[in-house]
């Protein structure tokens, strides 16, 4: 029998790809204390072979993530792609339709590559008015509803307004906040792991 005729074996150990900005890259926090590293540590207790690849980059926008995503999908072939982008777009006043379109395209690319998708939402200060702020915040949940994706509506929920949990810039969470962020994401990841068994 020719080798090429053999069916491909399903990969036993899942690969999770995190595509985010400085919030997920762990800006100002030791890498091993970031929420992505903590997530990996926690889920590996049950599935030691599971891989969590953090492809987050400080300053990343939805356009930058969209540009990088095809190569990341090809390289890592993730089973789950976690998208945490949009905060930098919002801080720069990027038009909401542009943000939504970029995120939507990222979801579609990941799904076309055979990956499940999870969204991590963000909120921004009302610098550009209440309407922009509200539309920005709703973009994540509306996109998740449209594509039936698991979503954390606000990754800094219970963190952004708590003294000691945000760095002096008021944008990036401290090391003390990282476990709380992990606690928001991990239940959805654990549920995803159970459903794929």
Report which secondary-structure segment, H or E, holds 124: none
Report which secondary-structure segment, H or E, holds 17: strand 15-20
Cα gap 162→28, rounded to integer Å = 17
Active-site residue set: 22, 169, 172
Three-class SS of residue 138? helix
Positive or negative CA dihedral for 56, 61, 65, 67? negative
Cα gap 122→88, rounded to integer Å = 10
Which residues have C-beta within 8 Å of that of residue 50, sequence separation ≥ 6?
13, 14, 15, 16, 40, 43, 44, 193
């Amino acid at each position: 029998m020719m080798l090429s005729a053999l069916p491909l074996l399903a990969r036993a150990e899942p690969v999770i790809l995190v595509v985010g900005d400085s919030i997920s890259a762990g800006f100002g926090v030791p890498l091993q204390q970031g929420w992505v590293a903590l997530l990996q540590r926690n889920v590996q207790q049950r599935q030691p072979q599971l891989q969590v690849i953090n492809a987050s980059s400080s300053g990343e926008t939805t356009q930058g993530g969209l540009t990088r995503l095809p190569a990341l999908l090809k390289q890592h072939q993730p089973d789950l792609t976690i998208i945490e982008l949009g905060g930098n777009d919002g801080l720069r006043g990027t038009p909401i339709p542009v943000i939504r379109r970029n995120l939507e395209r990222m979801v579609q690319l990941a799904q076309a590559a055979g990956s499940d998708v999870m969204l991590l939402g963000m909120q921004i200060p009302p610098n550009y008015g209440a309407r922009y702020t509200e539309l920005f915040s709703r973009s994540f949940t509306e996109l998740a509803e449209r594509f039936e994706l698991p979503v954390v509506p606000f990754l800094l929920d219970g963190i952004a307004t708590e003294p000691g949990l945000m760095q002096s810039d008021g944008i990036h969470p401290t090391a003390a906040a990282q476990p709380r962020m992990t606690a928001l994401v991990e239940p959805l990841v654990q549920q995803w792991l159970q459903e794929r068994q």
